[in-house]
Structure 1
Amino acid sequence: MQAPSSNNDTRSPDSAAQQQRQQTVVDTPPPSVSPHLQQPKAYGRLKARAADVKSFRAGPPTLLEKKEFSAKEPKRLIFIGDIHGSLKELNLLLCKLKFKRDEDQVVLVGDLVAKGPESVGVVRRARQINAWCVRGNHDDRVIRWREFLDGPGATLSESELKSLEKSGGLPYDDFKVGKDHYQIARDLSPDDITWLKSLPTILPLLSPYSEWVVVHGGLDPSKPLLKQSAEDVMVTRNIGSSGPTSSRDEGKAWFELWADKMKGLSPSSGAKDLNFDEMHYNKIIYGHDAGRNLQLHPLTKGLDSRCVYGGQLTAFVLPGEKTASVTCPNYDGGSGSDGKDRRRRRRDSVPNAKAEPMYTVEQGRERQ
């Protein structure tokens, strides 16, 4: 019997179609993407492509938000410097000031998180007392980590993230897998992170404190408020030849230039955009500059007094322009600390961060 011709297909139509699909569907990632990142997890989702990871960008921070006082104007505004996870010291300072929630308004200058032992607790304490706050650069890094971990990083294991970090494949140069900001981003609840993301970088106050503005880092004296860069406002220490910089070695301290400008201030073109007379906003409260320690000048109040470096946590109170402070341990261990001890202390104090209730005063009690 003559063998069937090679051109004749004796398979059923269904099996032929199945083989055709197997030949045409090629499950191979593009050459620029690691095949390892394309393997599905046990729960069936595909892992993020390396290109998507590298190109990820978090949502931009809100530049400016004006806060309205409630029907009952607070008796005191209590401005507090960089807390950096120092929950115990925050509570001690509030108790020292005899903070009363229904009479006082707390305003935080940013950097609630990182370096200290209880970052999650500080965020929840701030929410609990309805504190006003601006976004600091460490808060911003935690926010960016969380948005990434909720986005293209959601399907990547920690070991895979570390591999990407080593190869320069993470979206931000300041991302360090397994370190403080990464762990805090994972520990914060959805409500915590929503609140943190809502914080503006510039907070101008209204009457009777309409001459005051709160930022974390500093302002560019050459620009009106609405023309400032949200990113620069969080990190500015000096103004150099190319503009704002975080370096103290280049140019001149921004607050010195600010004082120079205020001597001859006139309304700027930005005043119409802001719908208020910008020349009223001439006093700035800020943090971020632990290297210069507490800086109290007529027009600027720098409240970063090295809390996590064995310094103090400082409050500035209006009316009256009085200060108060409490001593802090050296939680950070110096600029070279890798954060392992901080993570251990935080996990001891917040065993289940996502389920943890709002924090209460640990030392003393608020006046009721």
Structure 2
Amino acid sequence: MTESTPLLKRARDEEENLEYEEYEDFEMSPRVKYSLLTLGILSSLAVLYFFTVFLPGYFIPESTDLVDIIKVSDSNVQLIPLKPIKKTGFELFAYEDNQLKGEEMELSFPEDFSYEYNSNNKEHKRKVERLILIGDIHGHYIQFRHLLRKLNYNAKKDHIIVLGDFVSKGPDSIKVLDYLMKNKIDCILGNHEYYVLQNYASFHGKQFPDFVNGSAHSDGLSIEGFNDDPEFLLAKKLQADHIKYINSCPIIKKIGEVPIYRKKDSNDILNGGVSTKSTRKGVVVHGGLRWDLSLYEQQPVDNLEMRSLIGPYFNQSTDDPHEPNAVSWSKIWNKQQKLLKSDESLVVYYGHDARRGLNLKNYARGLDTGCDRGDLLSAMVLWNELQDGVVIHKEKAVQVHC
């Protein structure tokens, strides 16, 4: 045993020396360490850039600033009195009610659709043959195009105003926006478009605009309490041009002289339409108007969301028609307008209130007929005819199933 001890000790020493030598062979030099450290830092920066800059820039559209929202504006259009060449009259509408099945269609008037014009008015307004007001579309592009086909819509001869809530809820909000922008279709702001603007400003860190009439500013609506989830998802997808279009929509728009007729005459609104020599000044808004305030004194929260007024004084609005002492704002409006002189009263076309459907009164006409819940999409068409030297004002409702 004693003789083998030096040999065992020598073997152990040699093994330790070998391990030490192997360790020394694989030790990195300072230059290699520096190179690997630099590579690691650059790789980390590249990964950080990819996830924080490249991916958001690729999937999230470039943002744009928002401008102040106009409270009251003018449609700047004038209806041309039309006179049919043939005594048999002319077709303003296509009466087929065939469903579109998703295909794109080019729309135009028939080739024999011709008029004589009575154009003595020299005002600098866009002269059109028909003014078409369309209720809440809510992103239902196919039904919207079906309605345009039934109307024989012609972008050069007609002027369309969509009455707010043309996006959100439905499946094709962006397609609706693209079509509105491409055809330069007029608009007013609805509560859902307003929510989209709010969420867009919040998501992109933009300053939210005021409501203005010239230099008169008013407070905006608070985002708190709004069901903003669908509008938030939509706002993240919208291009800068989409937002600029929505941001251009005013709260209230004046549309000039419109027909005024009795309640019983409205029974013909879906058939041949109504005809009258009498007119009143007309405006369009999404939600409603307060009867006790002038146009320029109206509050945007009322105009965007109101469905009823609360009694007994009816000077407070609510979007809940079931609230105690709540009465439809249009009923109060209609009653109050009858007390005014003809040159002071206003006829209001509005949307937002699908529960009441096509709601026709002398001075208030509701056009939200519940397309998003599978009911109808409605348009009100206004045009003038020249008959024996007298201008006859006409109005007709056109609807398609959703």
What's the TM-score once normalised by structure 1's chain length?
0.62
SS in 1 for 2:128: coil
Change (3 A) 1:224 1:94: same
SS in 1 for 2:253: strand
SS in 2 for 1:149: helix
Q: How does 1:1-368 map to 2 (within 5 A)?
A: 42-43=48-49, 61-69=69-77, 71-151=125-205, 172-174=224-226, 176=228, 179-206=229-256, 211-241=281-311, 243-250=316-323, 251-266=326-341, 279=344, 282-319=346-383, 320-328=394-402
SS in 1 for 2:131: strand
Partners in 1 of 2:292 and 2:230 — Cα distance?
A: 35
Please give the per-residue CA displacement for 1:158-178, whole angstroms capped at 9, x wherever unaligned.
xxxxxxxxxxxx9533254xx
Please state which structure has a larger fraction of its residues in strand: 2
Q: If you compute each CA radius of gyration, which structure gives the higher value, 1 or 2?
A: 2
Q: Offset of 1:72 from its aligned partner?
A: 4.4
Change (3 A) 1:42 1:175: farther
Letter in structure 2 aligned against 1:181: E
Q: Offset of 1:105 from its aligned partner?
A: 0.4
Please give the per-residue CA displacement for 1:123-160, whole angstroms capped at 9, x wherever unaligned.
1211122111110001110111111111079xxxxxxx
Letter in structure 2 aligned against 1:147: A
Give the superposed CA RMSD. Answer: 2.5
Partners in 2 of 1:302 and 1:60 — Cα distance?
A: 27
Hey, what does 1:6 align to over in structure 2?
none
Tell me if structure 2 keeps the 8 A contact 1:145–1:175.
no
Change (3 A) 1:144 1:325: same
Letter in structure 2 aligned against 1:248: P
Please give the per-residue CA displacement for 1:219-272, whole angstroms capped at 9, x wherever unaligned.
0001100000012101111111460111112321111111111121159xxxxx
SS in 2 for 1:73: strand
Tell me if structure 2 keeps the 8 A contact 1:204–1:210.
no
Please give the per-residue CA displacement for 1:161-201, whole angstroms capped at 9, x wherever unaligned.
xxxxxxxxx9533254xx42112111111011011011111
Change (3 A) 1:247 1:60: farther
Tell me if structure 1 keeps the 8 A contact 2:159–2:185.
yes
| Structure 1 residues without counterparts, runs of 5 or longer | 1-40, 46-57, 154-169, 268-276, 329-368
Aligned length: 247
SS in 2 for 1:321: strand
Where relative contact order (Cα < 8 A, 6+ residues apart) is larger, the structure is 1
SS in 2 for 1:65: strand
Partners in 2 of 1:258 and 1:205 — Cα distance?
A: 18
Identity of aligned residues (%): 30
Tell me if structure 2 keeps the 8 A contact 1:74–1:105.
yes
Partners in 1 of 2:72 and 2:399 — Cα distance?
A: 28
Partners in 2 of 1:284 and 1:194 — Cα distance?
A: 26
What's the TM-score once normalised by structure 2's chain length?
0.57
Letter in structure 2 aligned against 1:174: F
Letter in structure 2 aligned against 1:137: N
